[in-house]
Structure 1
Amino acid sequence: MSCRSLLQASRYIYPSTRSCAFPSKRAVCLRFGARSMEGQKKVAMEVVKGKEEAAADVSLKQLSKKLDDFAQERDWEKHHSPRNLLLALVGEVGELSELFMWKGEVPRGLPGWDEAEKEHLGEELSDVLLYLVRLSDMCGVDLGDAALKKIVKNAVKYPAPSKSA
């Protein structure tokens, strides 16, 4: 795993007093003690604990627990105020939007995107999700419950057209 991947893995919990003031790729590698490519790979595996844990059916509660553990192990909770997390979330949404900028309308399935672009998209979507989960936790909001309630509200507000023959 490269320094870029390490940066992505550490970005959502890296202590910072300013929004979007994230360390450079080199700084992340040095922070985690990775000076060589082999060192980077070793550190990356420690950071993300292997791809086998990246299951598609992971719950919001599991993500929340992992984020909380990660922040506690590094004594980074003090940097996770709702304001800081919101500003970081907005920064990540901006990075996500940059991937679509100048591409025109993008059809479902992203035809024409290469694997590197799709991987980068996955990283940016993950950054947004992780900040959102952490922000909801710091605000005392059960995100899963709130999302289900919102779906019900939307169904009432925007009823499906009746299927009459």
Structure 2
Amino acid sequence: MDLASLQRIAWDNKVRKGYNTTDVPLEFCMLQEKAAASFTAWRRGKEILGEELADVVLYVSSIAEMTGLDLQEAVRTKVAKNAARAT
């Protein structure tokens, strides 16, 4: 699955289930909570780390969709920029 497809799937799921689709600050707060949950899962050696990290990716994808950002292109551009850096 590519990022563009993931972004659309995450968005469609939010719309279908009536989740937040307009409050960007709230979505960033939820992303922060999921990032913290990921850290806690890692720190405690829990098997749910993958699930928590997947939530982080889904929240990032949703924020991209909410703000009209093509996440796949943004990641592609950033990877190329990082690769061009000397160190």
AA aligned to 1:66 is: I
AA aligned to 1:153 is: K
Distance 2:6 2:84 in 1: 30
Normalised TM-score (structure 1): 0.47
- Residue 101 (structure 1) aligned to one of 33, 43, 65: 43
Normalised TM-score (structure 2): 0.82
Q: Which residues of structure 1 form unaligned runs of 5+?
A: 1-57, 103-112, 160-165
| C-alpha displacement of 1:130 | 0.3
| RMSD after superposition | 2.0
Distance 1:148 1:61 in 2: 11
In the alignment, structure 1 residue 150 sits paired with structure 2 residue 78: yes
Q: Which residues of structure 2 form unaligned runs of 5+?
A: none
Map 1:27-66 onto structure 2 (within 5 A): 58-66=1-9
Distance 1:158 1:143 in 2: 25
Q: For the Cα contact (< 8 Å) 2:7–2:71, is it kept in 1?
A: no
Aligned residues: 87
Structure number with the bigger relative contact order (C-alpha 8 A, sep ≥ 6) is 2
Distance 1:137 1:76 in 2: 13
